[in-house]
Chain A
Amino acid sequence: MYSVNYHRAASVADAAKLVKSGDAKLLSGGMTLIPAMKTRLAAPSDLVDLSRIRDLQGIKVSGKTVTIGAATTHFDVANDDKLRKACPALAHLASLIGDPAVRHKGTIGGSIANNDPAADYPAALLALGATIITNKREIPADKFFKGLFETSLKDGEIVTAVTFTAPAKAAYEKFRNPASRYAIVGVFVAKGKDGVSVAVTGAGDDGVFRSKEIEAALAKNFDAASLAGVKVPAKNLMSDIHASSDYRANLIAVMAKRAVAAANA
């Protein structure tokens, strides 16, 4: 790791000031950033640690409205009783991220700000029609995720929370790479008052996306049988040593079927 200056932010306002120094980066759980710094793929001059800011932690459920603080860990999302009742699919998704030690540190805000094309949360937030709240504004999920490791966050802008309306039904199914355990394909389905939405992670060559073909088939009847014969185009899907784009296209339909079955169970 190259030399770096560490700062512990006492508040979001404090962090917003500190992040202006040099080529600073925000540090939350550090489960991606620190490994990237160790291999010198990332070399910020300064780190601004958000993880001790109380205002950024915790989960609120009020009626159907769920709000999760950006520095809430995957472990806390997976194990929060209120969330497990309101949106069990999201709690389940969090329980599938990394391993227990990673879930104890990694945070929802850090994950979405990084927007890894194989990360789990982007699929959930896109399918749930979530809003990402920052220290400057509110951004709808479909305007937030912009491609591989790209978001609409401006320099120094800090994600403070995410909020969404709990859907009537939802589920997440992920097909993992057997070694890295990242999603080769992950599909989050949600059925709410605005209809059905289906978001896919791990597969798009421009990051997370919604599958129109699967949404159209499920809009008629929210049942796994509706997906029989539905073809997802392989165009714009990733092709690499782990899976070809055709394989991923097929897997999207398979994972969507499993997710719908789980949501209806």
Chain B
Amino acid sequence: MSDISFVVNGRRVSGAAEDRTLLVHFLRENLGLTGSHVGCDTSQCGACVVHVDGKAVKSCTMLAAQASGSTIVTIEGLANGADLHPVQAAFKEHHGLQCGFCTPGMIMTATDMINRHPEGLDEATVRAELEGNICRCTGYHNIVKAILAASKTMSKVSKGKAKQAA
């Protein structure tokens, strides 16, 4: 057994788990954060993507023990109360989902992608960077649209903030 302690969505949590426990199972079963999904269990589909120390990773391909001491953000930690995160709002606006199963991973991957490309995104980059997230409903079209729109919104917001600061 391992004693696991990390910060999830701004909250310090700790608990004991078998060493073989995957991070996604710890999040879902010990912490009740069931937004991160297990789609394939073979590290391919990306439905389980969360941010660990600021980087998008597949939480089904990491032990909870490996993440001990880290700072984690899951899909539950993105919105600010009732206000959706700009990426969530864009997925809603552009209908970037049908069944919704892959959506948490898509949104966590998209948020990481937008953060890594503050200069903006183009369609080819979005499609290439979605390589590790599989959607079986939408054909990706509206997902790509939503990410491009969110990227624009977020760059406006950060520019606005920079202006305010100046």
- Which residues of A pack against B, CB within 8 Å? 1-6, 8, 27, 30-31, 34-35, 37-39, 47, 49, 51, 75, 98-102, 104-105, 181
Contact = CB atoms under 8 A, between A and B. Distances in A.
Given A1-B20, A3-B18, A30 B62 contact: yes
B2, B61, B62, B129: residue with the most chain A Cβ atoms closer than 10 Å: B61
B3 to A, nearest CB: 11
B57 A34 contact: no
Interface stretch (B41-49, B89-97, B144-152, B157-165): B41-49
Contact of A101 (B19, B56, B65): B56
Contacts of A99: 46, 129, 131-133
9 closest A-B pairs by CB: A99-B132, A6-B19, A99-B131, A104-B55, A6-B65, A1-B20, A35-B43, A101-B58, A101-B56
Interface of B: 2, 18-20, 22, 41-43, 46, 49, 55-58, 60-63, 65-66, 68, 109, 112-113, 129, 131-133
Contacts of A27: 66
A100 B129 contact: yes
Nearest to B64: A6
B61 A30 contact: yes
A5 B2 CA distance: 9
B55 to A, nearest CB: 4
Contacts of A30: 61-63, 66
Nearest to B48: A101
Contacts, number: 76
B66 A6 contact: yes
A137 B20 CA distance: 33
A27 B19 CA distance: 13
Contacts of B129: 99-100
B45 to A, nearest CB: 11
A65 to B, nearest CB: 29
A100 B43 contact: no
Nearest to B112: A100
Q: Which of A6, A35, A47, A181 counts the most chain B CB atoms within 10 A?
A: A6
B92 to A, nearest CB: 23
B161 to A, nearest CB: 25
A104 B57 contact: yes
A98 B132 contact: yes
Given A6-B65, A30-B62, A35 B42 contact: yes
Contacts of A105: 57-58, 61-62
A99 B48 CA distance: 14
A2 B132 CA distance: 26
Contacts of B62: 30, 34, 105
A34 B66 CA distance: 11
A103 to B, nearest CB: 9
A200 to B, nearest CB: 23
Contact of B43 (A31, A51, A75): A31
Contacts of B20: 1-4, 37
